[in-house]
Each structure stands twice: as structure tokens, then as C-alpha cells.
Structure 1
Amino acid sequence: MNLDCLLEIVDSKLIENQDRPLNPTEILIMRGIWKYWTYSQMAVEAGYSTGYFTNVAAPELFGRLSKVIGQRVTKKNCRMLLESYVIAQDALETTPLGTNLPESTSEVNQSEVKQKDNSPRYPSGSVPLDSKFYIERSPLEEQVYQEISKPGALIRVKAPREMGKTSLLLRIIDHANLLGYRTISLNLEQVEWGILNNLNQFLRWLCANSARLLQLQPNLDDYWDEDLGSKISSTLYFQDYLLESTDTPLVLALDEVNQIFEHPQVAKDFLPLLRSWYEEAKRLPIWQKLRLLVVHSTEIYVPLDLNQSPFNVGLPIQLDSFSEEKVQQLAQRYGLKWEDGEEIRQLMAMIGGHPALVHLALYHLSLGSISLSELLENIPNSSGIYHNHLQRHWAALKKQPELAQALDIILNTNEPVPLDPILSHKLSSMGLIKKSGSKVVAGCELYRQYFLSVFNNKGVK
């Protein structure tokens, strides 16, 4: 489960319990847990003492989380309990009509279940396949569906976080299944840090999980040869075992590939390996069965040799913001009667067409508990509905002061400004700016208001 989405759900539940949202230290603890960090590693990252995390910050966080989910939360069980809790909440919200309810359940309660089932779900993570809230990006989907049917295809889906990459991935895999293809879908967020940091362990993880999803015995030792090395061993494993085992095309979909970017030594071996599998299809028919689907965020940067990585071959798919027409379609699906388009223009003037930001705004507006004017007034605040989204960007900018300084210059003018190409690429990859010819402007008014306030209060080094 995507951690950023889970953090948004946790914040919403804390607020429902009349508690405050997670603060930056607590968010760091959560991210550390997801990366299997020790408290010492968290302390180094934050610049605090280990004792502060062990004796103060973590116990307070776990106490608050325990009240939310009704079970005692510890560092060891935090991830498991929170993910189970969110899944259980989703199941409650989507209980099908006709499900047997306790005899004491009244007709009024059954009416409440029906109303809940028909109401919008809190937007978090990918949009389910059967959801009416998925907005097609035609003709992009058609282009991808055509490409996945080509022998030896490689599709690269990239965008900043929360732009809909995994939602598109689900639909590509579903389309491949409808074509009768075998599919392997792996999310690299699920790989432990120690495995990601070791090429041999990671390739064994990749091969073993691929076999598991194809309902095959792993049989790794039959193909692994220390003298040949893990790259050749994994190649032979796919060629002589996995691809030989199927008469139909095989789709290998890797989501959150950016996770491996944080391990440069492994990335420098693994990414060219993917490219080599793509190139093998040009000379060996068996590799034409393999269709590679690589999905990654554009917000992490490591020095990669573009001539050896898979990121300059195959079909590139860049996910962009929603158009005004797409936002109008989504507003209608949320039940909002915005006929003249004025509300759409007001909303997009603040947040642009960023898919996750649009979904979250429309969700809150569809509940009827807040008006559009109130929403637009409050969302740039640190306690608004975009708290986690904005905090994530601020944390990234603090680690790269040169980006913060460049963004500060951009935000302090209403005109497009020239910017160093490298800085422009990085800020654009984060979604914080937009390119206007050879110059750049702020990504949206939300970022302008929020970061100007942060820079004025905390300064930019």
C-alpha cells in the first residue's frame, strides 16, 4: 500500500477523533518503519537524539494510532496493523447490498449501509478497476494497449507521485489478462531495504516472486550459478524456465521502480539488465514473449547511464494533469452540479489539474460539509486537506537547498522566468513548476501560496 496515501487516511482519522494531524517527526517515523530503519537511523535523518525517538516521539505516535484503530500499536506491528485497518475500513464501506446483517439490524441501518455503499470513498492510492471515478486519458490508454500486444514490447510510465501511474498500470494488466496473457505484477515498495541493497538477493527475490505469481515452484538453485553471476543466472531463469513454461506472452510489470534508484550500485546493474532483456527480443524469438512494463516516479535522481538503462528505449508514457474537461467529468461523477464551469475554473486556478489534488477536493466537496469558497481559502494552510502532500514536497526541498532557492525565485514573480536546465528538470519532475516555452512558472497557485509562506517563515538557505 502506498505510504503517502495511508498517511492521508491516518490524518483524516485522527482529525475525526478530534486529534491533530501527524507532525513532520511522526511522518519521518512512519517512513522509517516502512524502510525498516532503526531509531538510530531515524535520529540521524532528523538531527535528533535516538533517545528522543525511543522515549518520546515514537511512544506518543503509537499511543495516538492505537486509539484510532483500537489495538495496541508498536514499531514491530505498526505497518501490518495500519494496512489491515485501512483494508477493513474499505471493506466496511463497500459491503454489498444483500449481505446478511445481524437480526437486530433495523431497516434504517440497512438504508445507511446502502447510502454508504453509493457514496464516494476517500480517494487514496490507485483507483480500483470497477470504480466510476477513474478518468480515462484517451487516446493514451489505446496507445498503451496496442503497444503491449507487440512482441518484446517495453513501456515506461513515468510521472510525479500521485498522478495516476498505478491506476493506469492496473488497467494495462487487466487488458493483458483479457488478451489471455500471463501477468506478473510486482511493487518494489514491498521489497525490504536489505534485499534492495544487494543485487544477488534482489534478483533472487524477483525470480522467486515471478515464479510464485505464475504458480510455479521457484527452483532457483537449478538456475543460479555463482560463477556466472546473478545477472546471467536471472536471465537464464527467465529464458529457460519462466518463458519456456508458457505458450502465451508474459507481461512483467514493475511498479515503484524508483525505489531501486535509492540504491545506485544495484540500479546500475539492474536497469541495464532490463534493457538487455528488451534487446534480446530482437535476436531470440523466446524473448519476444516478454512484455516489460516499468512504472516509476520522476522525483528521485541518481546518476544513470542513459545508454545502458531502460529509460531511453521502448514507449515512453508521461502522465500529465487533467484538463478542464476531465475535471468537469470527475465533478459530475462525484455528484456535483457544476453546470456553467465557473467552479471548475476556480478550483483549477488554485490546484491546476493534478489528479490526486482534484480527487481529494471533489471528495470533500461532495460530502457537503464545506463550500468551494471555504475549501479554496483553507487548502494552502499547513492543516488543510493537502497537509501531507505539501509536507512531502517541503521535506524534499529542505534536502536540496538549491531547488528551494530556485523555487523561491519563481514564486516571487508572476512572469515566466529562465532557469538552469538541471534545476528546471528537477522541479518539473516534482510537479512544482510548469514549463512555458524556454521559461518556467509555478505549478499552481496552491504551491505559490504555501511555499511563499513557508519560505517567509522558515527562510531559504
Structure 2
Amino acid sequence: MNDKSAFSWEQAKQVAEKVLFENFQEYLKDVEMQVLQGAWQGFTYEKMGEIYHLSVNYLRGDIGPKLWQKLSIALGEDVNKSNFKGAMERAWAKQQTRLSNPNTTVKLPTVSSVTDLSFPEGSVSLNSPFYLERDFVEELCYQTVIKPGSLIRIKAPKLMGKTSLLTRIIAYSQSHNYQTVYLNLSSVERSILTNLDKFLRWLCLMVSRQLKIENQLNNYWDTDILGSNDNCTVYFEEYLLTTINCPLVLGLDEVERIFTYIDVVEDFFGMLRSWHEKGKISPIWKQLRLVMAHSTECYIPLDMNQSPFNAGVPIELKEFEQKQVKKLADLYALNWHESQVEKLMKMVGGHPYLGQLAMYQVKANNINLEQLLQQASTESGIYNNHLRRQLEILKKNSELAEAFKRVVNSSEPVELESIQIYKLHSIGLVQRLDNMVIPRCNLYREYFRRVL
């Protein structure tokens, strides 16, 4: 029997488990194991979907590409459904050589050898290996967005990954041949947000453009009889949803932008809630799936039956745990011990952006971690620009600045007014402990204790 025929499925599975754990500190998920074994047996994604009772688009558009990308990183070569056997057999041969000759070390390639290191800013791109999935979060979102009339609410402070998750939900929807629209409400001009009719016409026009559908607002907008909400609803029901005749995923990012616009907020959110309720009974509205991302609760009182914030599936993004921070460090090929991960987390907690910025600087500029942390809260530290932006926000609200000053100067949790807690949490400066707060991390405590 030749060497090629001697390489078995069990050996291939061992290789996959080993290299994925060494590079990502994780083992194959059940569905990844099914895809890998199905590919080993030469099955198409259609056949796998039939055998495992899973969506073909889910396997082809999500699980499969992610699995081959992780194996490409772990094995140091381009891996796909067609060629993975050869790549894994070569990795198996290297492992056997290392076992038979303990003095020989085979260095598995790191992520930095197969990707360009880019400065961490904004959302994490779809093809970036530096995006870390949270336990069950992405899977729950993917399962929800394909359900008729669904609503997903993503809530987290700024720089916690809301936009990155939202773009992945949209990409997953596109893999199911859904139409998708992404709107960032932070880009809407103030003059539009102060007028409900203007804002809803803006919404309809932007959706039309992204769907590449001709603007027909003047033919559907009846200002003599219908109100703005009704006109917007009619435009979606009789024109947009009817024209595309397929599921539409509408992603609304930075929704908190409109919380302070009293003339818009109540009617707009009431309309979104009514659309969600229509999706439970109306075939045309079942096509619409709403995904909203916001950094804090809506502190404008809304009727509980007219608010989208107590409906749908809530997704709250938490900080990374230590194992996830270690995994991110490994992706940067830093070879950190647990003690180094703990030092970083002692300063910035499990904050995704702050942690990744530190790892980037250590890797890209060959900075010593201890020195970086010593200077972290100073004007010469790597967080200088981020800290100054946070300070500018506080300077615009003296009461909020005074409230946060109490927090950073106290060794115990501090009780604040609800509105102050909401605002400080949305900025990302505090953690909530029941009805009290503490600084989100020591970086903020040290810096703002000094400058406030």
C-alpha cells in the first residue's frame, strides 16, 4: 500500500484538530467536522445539506469558506474543498517526522506570514483573520436572519464590534441570495433628522438606491391624506418589497444617533415595530428582516407596544474573555504566555479594540509590552488619540464629566442617575454592576483621574 492510500480520514481529522488548536485555540465545531468529512468523501455541498439536514447556502456561503480560510492560515498554504487532502497529508508527514526525530522542529506558519498586518481601525473586514467569533452569537444571528419577519437588536458600547457583526450578518444574507441594505444613521444630516417626513423619504430613497430600483417617491407619497409613517409603509409594501419579490435584510447601524430627535424617534421606532408585527402575519412583510445596532438603550420613553427595543432577538456584545485575548495574540504571532495576556487585560480588560491596538503596536513596531503598558495612560502612549477623543466628549457635557470624575476617583462602585449611566456606558467608559458603575478598565481610571 503506497503512502497516499495510507493517509486516512482519522489521520486527516487529527491534523485538522491539531493545527486549528495550535493556531486558534479551538477544535472543529460539529458542523465543520461534517463539512470536512463530507468533502473527504467527495460530497457536494448539496449532498452534505441533504445528509446533515442543513441549508446548502449555509454550508457553501458560510461554514465552508470559513473552514478553508482557517485551514489555509493554520497550514500556511491556500486550502480549498478540492485540494485540502494534499495539504493535510503534507502536514501529517511533517508531524510524523517531528515525532520520529525529536531534535527536528517543524515550525507551522503563523498568520503574519500569509496576511498583511493592517492598522486596527473601524470595523473588521470580512476577509480579515483577526475577527473573533463570540460563543453562539454569530450562529444565533445567522439562524435568526433567515427567519421570515425577524428582528435582531445588537447592543454594545462603541468599538466593541457591532458594525463588524452587522456586516457579517449582511454577508451571510447575501450568500442566501437575499437583497441587503446597510445604512449608517450617523451619516444623516441634522436638518433631515429634525423632520420626520424628510427622514422617512431619505430612508426610502437610500433603500431604493442600494437596491438599484428607480425612485418612485412622488408617485406613492400622498401628503394630503396619509401621514409620514403610512406613506413610508406603503412605499415599502406596494413598491420596494413587491419589486424585489425576495427577502430583504435592512441593516441600520448607529441607531442611537436619532435618540435625541424627539420629533422623529417615537414615530420612527413605532413604525419599525409595526413592520415587525406585520411580518408575523403578512406574506409581503415576512420578506423584511430588520437588524439594528446601537450603543445604548433608547432613553426616550416609548410605549412598550410600539417599541422595537423589547421585541425580536437581543444580542449584547460582551468583552473578550482571557482565552479569546490569548487567541487574538496568537493570531498576531506574538507567542505570549498567559502572564502577558493577564498584564494586558489588567490595563484594558477584554476590550476588543484596545487589546488589538496593543497587539498591533507590539507586533508592527517591535515595542516591549511592559513599556507599552507603563506609558498607556500618558500623552506619549499608544492610546493618546483614543483617550483625547473620549475626553472631548466629556468636555461637551460638564455634568457627565463630573459624574465620571466621581467614578474614577472611587475605589467602590458608584451610583449615578440612569441617564448618566446610559451615556457613560454608550461611550464605553464604564461597566455596569446592577445600578452602579465602575471604570471599564484601569486605562480609563488612570487617565481620567489625572485629567479631570
- Letter aligned with residue 231 of structure 1: N
Distance 2:273 2:201 in 1: 18
121-130 vs 280-289, which moves further: 280-289
Q: Trace 1:238-387 onto structure 2 (pairs within 5 A).
A: 238-298=236-296, 303-307=300-304, 308-338=306-336, 340-387=337-384
Give the number of aligned pairs. Answer: 339
How far apart are 1:415 and its partner, in Å? 3.3
| Equivalent position of 1:30 in the other structure | none
* Paired residues of 1:163 and 1:354 also in contact (CA < 8 A): yes
* Paired residues of 2:152 and 2:292 also in contact (CA < 8 A): yes
Note if 1:453 corresponds to 2:437. no
- Letter aligned with residue 195 of structure 1: I
| Equivalent position of 1:172 in the other structure | 169
Distance 2:447 2:354 in 1: 14
Judging changes above 3 Å, is the alpha-carbon distance between structure 1 residues 271 and 388 closer, same or farther for their aligned structure 2 residues?
farther
| Equivalent position of 2:157 in the other structure | 160
237-246 vs 166-175, which moves further: 237-246
Distance 1:368 1:127 in 2: 21
| Equivalent position of 1:60 in the other structure | none
Distance 1:207 1:266 in 2: 15
How far apart are 1:447 and its partner, in Å? 0.6
| Equivalent position of 1:219 in the other structure | 216
Distance 1:221 1:399 in 2: 41
The one of 231, 235, 244 aligned to 1:237: 235
191-200 vs 282-291, which moves further: 191-200
- RMSD value, Cα: 2.1
How far apart are 1:120 and its partner, in Å? 1.1
* Paired residues of 1:306 and 1:312 also in contact (CA < 8 A): no
Three-state SS of the structure 1 residue aligned to 2:173 is helix
436-445 vs 306-315, which moves further: 436-445
- Letter aligned with residue 402 of structure 2: Q
Bigger Rg, which one: 2
- Letter aligned with residue 158 of structure 1: K
Note if 1:137 corresponds to 2:122. no
| Equivalent position of 1:406 in the other structure | 403
Three-state SS of the structure 2 residue aligned to 1:367 is helix
Note if 1:125 corresponds to 2:122. yes
- Letter aligned with residue 202 of structure 1: F
Distance 1:197 1:422 in 2: 22
- Letter aligned with residue 203 of structure 2: L
- Letter aligned with residue 317 of structure 1: I
Note if 1:203 corresponds to 2:210. no
Distance 2:239 2:268 in 1: 20
* Paired residues of 2:248 and 2:289 also in contact (CA < 8 A): yes
325-334 vs 417-426, which moves further: 417-426
- Letter aligned with residue 192 of structure 1: E
Judging changes above 3 Å, is the alpha-carbon distance between structure 1 residues 164 and 191 closer, same or farther for their aligned structure 2 residues?
same
Distance 2:303 2:341 in 1: 40
- Letter aligned with residue 369 of structure 1: N
The one of 414, 432, 435 aligned to 1:435: 432
* Paired residues of 2:151 and 2:312 also in contact (CA < 8 A): yes
How far apart are 1:434 and its partner, in Å? 1.9
Judging changes above 3 Å, is the alpha-carbon distance between structure 1 residues 431 and 240 closer, same or farther for their aligned structure 2 residues?
same
Distance 2:367 2:419 in 1: 41
| Equivalent position of 1:68 in the other structure | none
344-353 vs 328-337, which moves further: 328-337
* Paired residues of 2:376 and 2:443 also in contact (CA < 8 A): yes
Note if 1:182 corresponds to 2:185. no
Deviations 1:406-439 (A, max 9, x none): 3323322333344455544443333222234554
Three-state SS of the structure 1 residue aligned to 2:378 is coil
- Letter aligned with residue 320 of structure 1: K
Distance 1:422 1:224 in 2: 37
Three-state SS of the structure 1 residue aligned to 2:244 is coil
Unmatched tracts of structure 1, length 5 or more: 1-114, 456-461
Three-state SS of the structure 2 residue aligned to 1:186 is strand
| Equivalent position of 1:66 in the other structure | none
Deviations 1:132-170 (A, max 9, x none): 111111211111111111111111112111111110011
Q: Trace 1:77-92 onto structure 2 (pairs within 5 A).
A: none
The one of 403, 412, 416 aligned to 2:413: 416
Distance 2:281 2:364 in 1: 57
Give the structure-2-normalised TM-score: 0.70
How far apart are 1:233 and its partner, in Å? 1.0
Unmatched tracts of structure 2, length 5 or more: 1-111
| Equivalent position of 2:30 in the other structure | none
Distance 2:191 2:126 in 1: 33
Flag as ranges the 4+ runs of structure 1 deviating above 6 A.
Answer: none
Identity of aligned residues (%): 47
- Letter aligned with residue 150 of structure 1: K
How far apart are 1:215 and its partner, in Å? 1.8
How far apart are 1:251 and its partner, in Å? 0.7
Distance 1:256 1:421 in 2: 21
Three-state SS of the structure 2 residue aligned to 1:251 is strand
Distance 1:199 1:422 in 2: 25
How far apart are 1:117 and its partner, in Å? 8.3
Distance 1:429 1:241 in 2: 36
- Letter aligned with residue 377 of structure 1: Q
Distance 2:234 2:145 in 1: 23
Distance 2:184 2:191 in 1: 16
Distance 1:219 1:454 in 2: 54
